[in-house]
Amino acid sequence: MWRREKLLVGVSLAAFAGVAVVFVGVLWFLWRDSLAAEETAVSGLALSLGERTERVIQDTRDLLAGFDRLPGSRCSPRHLRAIEDAAATRPYLRAIGYWRAAERQCGVGFLQTSALKPPRADRIYDSGVIAWWPGPHTEVGGVPLFLMRFGDHDAAIDPRMLLEFGSLEKRQVALWVEGLPMASQPLDAVLPEPGSLPVGVHIDRAAGQVVSRFSRDALLPIDIVAIEPFANFWDRHLRTLAVGSTVGLVLAAGWLTAILRFTRHRLSLTAELREALAQNRIEVHYQPIVDLASGRCVGAEALARWTRSNGESVSPDVFIPLAEKDGLVTAITMSTLGAIIRDLGRLVKDTPDLSVSLNLSPHDLRTDVAGALTERLAAAGLPARAIKLEVTERALVNTDTARDVIQALRARGHQIAIDDFGTGYSSLSYLETFELDILKIDRTFVEAIGTAAATGHVIVHIIEMAQSLGLQTIAEGVETQQQRRWLLKRGVACAQGYLFSRPLTPSAFAELMRREQAA
């Protein structure tokens, strides 16, 4: 039994481990998938931001060079219109100015007096382009601007417009051009310098955020740094993770629960049966066996009954196989015998033609029950003829021991009945090799009496066969008068069934016998 339990536990653990591995695998895959999605999103973002920034800077430079090449006098209506047209079609341009040395002469945007002259340029290129990155000295209305001057004209770019993308999705994003901070979103976000970060997406556990850096060096060295708190990352990707893991978890939990419940039921049922046996709580009921001709009760079949401590009545169909598997069946047999002696010992002693049938399991026949049986009967002062022994047809198959045990039991004076005949595999010739006394006709054949079912004919053959072997017959499961009459007509000696009585408690059976004797 313990091997079985261990096996069950082992199977459960293996199942759990397997489920866990699959579950972890699914989670790992989804996590990788989420990271890859993040990487794709941020690198795509970096690409479009980088391209846009390059385009804007190059366009602005070409624009300024074009203004210097314009014919005609400066600050003329024509000159100013060209500047206005350029500014109108470029929403990121906040101002364009025409300068003489360090004096702004005219232009669009800003007031003349607020022309920006930062004290230090960030880049002066060989080409003559000069640029000031956004900072305190380029701030107008709280917004640091990117300034570029080439020749006699300058332009102010609002760097926020470079980041004005719908796809930022609550990320904090910073744009670096030539290693200098150009813009960030939101405006006051403080992001790490790209030089301090590895390229790609990585997890900063300490700060609880996902940090991404992508670089691009086509026309200008451009870096994009994006940060988002785990919370946002989860918000975006957790739906996939959650659905995947929940489904997995529910399936795994359901399966595990089913296995564990089954195991526990089985384990606890066996343990309980063992306990019930130890405490002698297996009760025995008696179903009367009636002589068909006289209608008198000539005996009874002892039937083991088990009621669990929670009140649930367990059918022998359930607990006998369980007991057989766990080696408890002989204990049940002996317990039943004990109950018979206790309940009906006196009655049987006083009534010489009354006998009680005890069921033996195939397991009983493989061991030597004969000795134990004789011992108990002798102790109780009961003759062997008082106890008939019922064996199932299945118990006889392929067992020489069974043959020997049956011989021994008969030699001691017990009558042997074969139970459930016709439901197994034995043929008539096989049956002949055993020394038997009684054949019990299974209820399935009795039920078929009077119907057109094919089994209706089988019972005729069974009865004829029993008579030819000189066996007494007892019909089981008789429920109608029609069945009783039919059986009587065919020469069946005895019967049991609801027509006569259902299984009775010991006291009810004793009462029945008292009334019959009085009659």
Q: Where on the chain is the footprint of another protein (CB under 8 A)?
A: 57, 61, 65, 99-102, 117-121, 123-131, 149-151, 178, 218-221
**Least distance between another protein and beta carbon 78 (Å):** 22
CA distance 428 to 424: 12
Residue 119 or 311: which CB sits closer to another protein?
119
Helix (H) / strand (E) containing 325: helix 316-325
Three-class HEC string of 455-475: HHHHHHHHHHHHHHCCCEEEE
What sign results for the dihedral spanned by CA atoms 319, 447, 431, 289?
Answer: positive
Residue 219 or 253: which CB sits closer to another protein?
219
Residue 128, SS3 per DSSP: coil
**Least distance between another protein and beta carbon 128 (Å):** 2
How far is CA 362 from each of CA 318, 324, 338, rounded to the nearest angstrom?
Answer: 16, 9, 20
**Least distance between another protein and beta carbon 63 (Å):** 14
**Least distance between another protein and beta carbon 239 (Å):** 43
Q: Which residues contact 115 (CB under 8 A, 6 or more apart)?
A: 97, 104
* Residue 130 neighbours by CB distance under 10 Å: 16
Query: Phi and psi (nearest 5°) for 160?
Result: -60, -30
**Least distance between another protein and beta carbon 55 (Å):** 14
CA distance 88 to 150: 20
Among candidate residues 420, 402, 268, 276, the one with its CA nearest the CA of residue 339: 276
Q: Which residues contact 105 (CB under 8 A, 6 or more apart)?
A: 74, 75, 97, 98, 99
Residue 219 or 428: which CB sits closer to another protein?
219
Residue 97 or 422: which CB sits closer to another protein?
97
Residue 223 or 442: which CB sits closer to another protein?
223
Place of tokens 């130890």: 278
Residue 123 or 261: which CB sits closer to another protein?
123
**Least distance between another protein and beta carbon 174 (Å):** 20
Which strands make up the sheet holding 153-157, listed edge to edge? 103-108, 93-100, 153-157, 146-150, 130-132, 123-124
**Least distance between another protein and beta carbon 57 (Å):** 7
Residue 18 or 179: which CB sits closer to another protein?
179
How far is CA 246 from each of CA 13, 232, 240, 242, rounded to the nearest angstrom?
Answer: 21, 20, 10, 6
> Are residues 496 and 478 in contact, defined by beta-carbon separation less than 8 angstroms?
yes
**Least distance between another protein and beta carbon 101 (Å):** 5
**Least distance between another protein and beta carbon 37 (Å):** 32
Residue 151 or 192: which CB sits closer to another protein?
151
Q: Please tell me what DSSP assigns to residue 90.
A: -
CA distance 73 to 61: 21
Query: Phi and psi (nearest 5°) for 265?
Result: -60, -50
Residue 154 or 476: which CB sits closer to another protein?
154
Structure tokens at 220: 């200008």
Residue 388, SS3 per DSSP: strand
The residues that bridge with 139 in the sheet, in sequence order, are: 144
Residue 102 or 518: which CB sits closer to another protein?
102
Residue 22 or 219: which CB sits closer to another protein?
219
Residue 128 or 327: which CB sits closer to another protein?
128
**Least distance between another protein and beta carbon 59 (Å):** 13
**Least distance between another protein and beta carbon 180 (Å):** 12
Residue 116 or 405: which CB sits closer to another protein?
116
Maximum distance among all Cα pairs of the chain, rounded to whole angstroms = 146
How far is CA 384 from each of CA 14, 380, 387, 392, rounded to the nearest angstrom?
Answer: 53, 11, 6, 20
Structure tokens at 111: 């007031």
What region does 128 belong to: left with phi over 0, alpha with psi -120 to 50, or beta?
left
Question: Which amino acid belongs to residue 29?
Answer: F
Place of tokens 């930062």: 118
Residue 73 or 310: which CB sits closer to another protein?
73
**Least distance between another protein and beta carbon 246 (Å):** 51
**Least distance between another protein and beta carbon 66 (Å):** 11
DSSP 156-225: EE-GGGGG--GGGTT-EEEEEETTEEEEEESTT-----GGGS-SEEEEETTTTEEEEEEEEESSSEEEEE
**Least distance between another protein and beta carbon 135 (Å):** 13
